[in-house]
Amino acid sequence: MKRLLALSLLLLLPGAQALDLADLSGTWLHNSIEVDGNPVVDERVLSAEMDFNGGKYTFRIADNTARGTIKLDTSKSPAHIDLTEVEGDNPGRTLIGIVETNATGLRLAIDMQGDTRPTKFISTDASTHLLASYRRKPGTVRPLRGLLITGGCCHDYPGQATILTEGLSKRANITWDIVMDPGQTGTRHKISIYKTEDWARKYDVVVHNECFADEKELDWLERIVQPHRDGVPAVVIHCSMHCYRAPTNEWFKFVGVTSHRHGSHFDYAMTNVAPAHPVMIGFPATWRTPKEELYNIEKVEPTATPLATGWSHETKKAEVNVWVNQYGKARVFGTTIGHYNHTLQDPVCLDLLARGLLWSTGKLDDKGKPLPGYAARP
């Protein structure tokens, strides 16, 4: 029984079409288990739970708990999976298997001896293999999969990458990939991920915090905006509004506003002009920003809705600096604040960005709260 319980640790994985470590996050339950071709009927085993979080697991069965790490290799077909127990009855033991997913869950085959990786999803009397299927525990969800694209001119993008991913993950159930090509601090660069076909396919939301104003090729611009036009949600921050000034307005249609310049650096009064909008619930009626850049907005797209404005003593008007936009099938949340790290670190700013991100993905309710499962995991 102890060996079977240890093997169970490996088996509780998430059901997702595109399998990677992000898809492993959540709590999972057995549907069925076969060992040596025979069904397992022990209710203790069948009622066990596995919680995955960031490539680590916690396994709970009755009054026993075990913890360990998981390794996934999706370059193989079926995907290879290894689990190493760190704390429990079998510390240091690694079990090897294969895993595949479908719309409702997953199935996994593992060698009970831990010596030879299975090649097929079978369990027969002579195979010494365990075969199991799983479902997600009711009330749990897969974390959002976020892509942060950053880098370019004029800002501390390495520091901002940490501020944004850590700050937003404390406010929303999201995992991150970060693309920041090394050494690119000018205004011209073709970010590496955009060269990949279907570059945004596996992500629930893309956060653009980049600054490459002088990349102006129309074909390059189209590679960037097409996935969003087709429905991938986006968050656009600060200098992203000054990017990709091709001889069309397509980038500005995507972000929702047109801006080519900013004023001097000063703190300013930022006014909540849409307090009933879910993104703005919880934002102060007026917030005094730290020292910042206030962008001059030349045009707000008819598809965009202003949410907040900042008063400019230079242009003598309220400049839109927070908004939402509909670009094709995608929701886009945008803000021009974020030149300085101290602005992005402010809890008021991070709360705003988190609500905007959740709104863009359809995971924010009408009261400005994350839908069940999409608040930050403890």
CB-facing half-sphere around the CA of 164: CA atoms within 13 A: 29
| Domain range summary for the chain, segments of one domain joined by + | 2-136, 144-360
Taking alpha carbons only, the member of 198, 243, 193, 199 closest to residue 221 is 243
| Rounded Cα–Cα distance for residues 171 and 291 (Å) | 24
Taking alpha carbons only, the member of 37, 97, 39 closest to residue 72 is 97
| Rounded Cα–Cα distance for residues 269 and 143 (Å) | 35
Q: What are phi and psi of 344, to 5 degrees?
A: -65, -30
Q: What mean pLDDT comes out for the span 231-257? A: 94
Q: What band does 17 get if pLDDT is binned at 50, 70 and 90?
A: very low
> Percentage of the chain with pLDDT > 70?
94
Query: Which fold, 144-360?
Result: Rossmann fold (3.40.50)
What CATH architecture does domain 2-136 belong to? Answer: Beta Barrel (2.40)
Whether the predicted pLDDT of 95 surpasses 90:
no
Q: What band does 108 get if pLDDT is binned at 50, 70 and 90?
A: confident
Report pLDDT for 74. Answer: 85
Report pLDDT for 103. Answer: 65
Report pLDDT for 13. Answer: 36
* Angle at the Cα of 96 from the Cα atoms of 90 and 100, rounded to 5 degrees: 130
| Rounded Cα–Cα distance for residues 33 and 131 (Å) | 6
| Beta carbons within 10 angstroms of residue 152's beta carbon | 27
Q: Is the dihedral of CA 117, 118, 119, 125 positive or negative?
A: positive
> Percentage of the chain with pLDDT > 90?
61
| Rounded Cα–Cα distance for residues 26 and 49 (Å) | 10
- What pTM was computed for the model? 0.77
Alpha helix positions (H), 68-200:
157-169
For the record, the structure tokens of 195 come out as 């060269």
CB 175 within 8 A of CB 146: yes
* Angle at the Cα of 165 from the Cα atoms of 17 and 160, rounded to 5 degrees: 140
